[in-house]
Amino acid sequence: MNIGQASKATGVTAKMIRYYDEIDLVRPASRTDSNYREYDDRQINELRFIKRARSLGFSMEEITQLLSLWRDRGRPSREVKAIADRHVADLDARIGEMQAMADTLRHLSHCCAGDDRPDCPILADLTEGKEPSDPVKRRPSFNR
């Protein structure tokens, strides 16, 4: 299976497959005589795994760990659970922050006439330069 077929089979773009290859996330692809990458079922499954894990918001760092546990038949499920739980806590923290932003804005918007006049509580709030409760530092790499 070449990269295009692997891409179709997994839903991961060829670009990203090459990237995962480059950062050694997946087992190294073997190459044909003409230097085409060749993927077998094992790698296809790894790519699917990565895709699903990304869709659950895991960072590449976490996925590296998850993949290594996945490959290890003797893994303790405790370790997998720990990674998942940490990620859930991370998600919850971010959800909380965004919820706070949305709530604040909903309130301000509700107080804004939204007509032709210039008076606007939203701008007024921004002008006051209130401090946010805490400039939260997040673990790197959960863009999307």
Partner DNA sequence: CTTGACCTTCCCATCATGGGAAGGCCCATC
Partner DNA sequence: GATGGGCCTTCCCATGATGGGAAGGTCAAG
Q: Which residues bind a second copy (CB under 8 A)?
A: 10-11, 45, 48-49, 51-53, 55-57, 66, 69-70, 72-78, 80-82, 84-85, 87-88, 91-92, 94-95, 98-99, 101-102, 104-106, 108-109, 112-120, 122-123, 125-132, 135, 138, 143-144
Which residues are at the interface with DNA (CB under 7 A)?
2-5, 7, 13-16, 18-19, 29, 32-37, 54, 59-61, 140-144
User: d(Cα 114, Cα 112) in Å, to the nearest integer?
Assistant: 5
At its nearest, how many Å lie between DNA and the CB of residue 87? 12
Residue 93 binding result from DNA, a second copy, none, given CB thresholds of 5 to 8 Å by partner type = none
Q: What is residue 109's three-state secondary structure?
A: helix
Give the closest residue to 49 by CA, choosing from 10, 21, 100: 10
Residue 108 binding result from a second copy, DNA, none, given CB thresholds of 5 to 8 Å by partner type = a second copy
Amino acid at 69: L
Contact between residue 82 and residue 95 where contact means Cβ atoms under 8 Å apart: no
Residue 36 binding result from a second copy, DNA, none, given CB thresholds of 5 to 8 Å by partner type = DNA
User: d(Cα 51, Cα 58) in Å, to the nearest integer?
Assistant: 10
Distance of CA 30 to the CA centre of its chain: 28
Tell me how crowded residue 108 is: count the other CB atoms within 10 A of its CB: 16
Residue 4 binding result from DNA, a second copy, none, given CB thresholds of 5 to 8 Å by partner type = DNA
Q: What is residue 41's three-state secondary structure?
A: helix
At its nearest, how many Å lie between DNA and the CB of residue 107? 23
